[in-house]
Amino acid sequence: MIHDRLSDVLGELSRTLVVAYQIPNALERLCIQLTGMLPVSGCWAVVMDELDGELRFVAASDAVGRKLAALHGELDEGPCLEAARNGERVLVPDLGAPDAVERFPRFAAQAMAGGVSAVHSFPLRSIDQQVGSVGLFNVAPGELDEHDVELAQLLADLTAASIVGAHRYQQVSGLAAGAQQRLADAAVLEQAKGRLSVQLGVEPDHALAYLQRYLLASGGSVREAAEQVCAGKLSLRRTADGTITRG
């Protein structure tokens, strides 16, 4: 049964984390699935903002998970922050234990006041990038066994790899679109230069300079004017005094 559910999770990740805007929905589904697969009460996920490095809440299995994510941000303290910043899992089986209270004094107090007794946080990390973290919580104190810890970290690592892949896909797609646009712009300019060279009786390499001279007086962009030339909506001529006007 656990293998079937794991297969479902991995399959969903591979299908949905294709582009960056789908990440929140996929992580929300992952939180729900982790809660069902592991002996925990709930789950939440935070992702590091690429611009300022701050952790942003993304998804949770329930309202308690959302509250725990908010506490990390409000207090600047907690297992998920450490896991995300250090790239290491942080397992706190009893928030009331002296070492947990000493390590996370404000977070531990407020989490326990909200009915949470244990928090286990796993970094979302790739080889060269910290992505965020996933937090699991329990209403009763207790450790996760070794199998559950490794399974949670495996899913966190695969999720991080999918997120990084989604961002890189977006970047590559953007670069490809930009390159394609530049090629299209160049093609339009070359065609316009050819037509203008005939209209003005100049070499094609000089035609663009005449178009720019015309636009200094009339306004507009080179790309738009070139498109009008190619479409036959704009023709230019030189007057006796060298002024460039519409033909």
CA 175 to chain centre: 15
Write the pLDDT tens digit of every residue in 175-204.
344 444 554 566 677 777 777 777 888 877
Rounded mean pLDDT, 149-161: 84
47 in Cβ contact with 58 (< 8 Å): yes
Q: What percent of the chain has pLDDT over 70?
A: 79
pLDDT at 7: 56
The CA distance from 80 to 43, in Å, is 11
Mean pLDDT of the chain: 79
- More reliable by pLDDT, 12 or 228: 228
Q: What is the CA radius of gyration of the chain?
A: 29
Write the pLDDT tens digit of every residue in 37-70.
899 999 998 887 765 667 788 888 898 998 998 8
Please say if the pLDDT value at position 5 is more than 90. no
Which residues neighbour 8 within 8 Å (Cβ) at sequence distance 6 or greater?
Answer: 33
The residue among 164, 151, 91 whose CA lies nearest residue 124 is 164
Integer CA distances (angstroms), 170 to 9, 12, 102, in order: 23, 19, 42
Classify residue 138 as exposed, middle or buried by CB count within 10 Å of its CB (0-12, 13-18, 19+).
Answer: buried
**φ, ψ dihedrals at 59, nearest 5°:** -155, 160
Q: What pLDDT band is residue 222 in, cutting at 50, 70 and 90?
A: confident
Please say if the pLDDT value at position 220 is more than 90. no
Question: For the chain, how many residues are written?
Answer: 247
3-state secondary structure of 204: helix
DSSP conformational letter for 52 = T
**Which residues make beta-bridge pairs with 48?**
55
Write the pLDDT tens digit of every residue in 75-126.
989 999 999 989 999 999 999 999 999 999 999 999 999 999 999 999 988 7
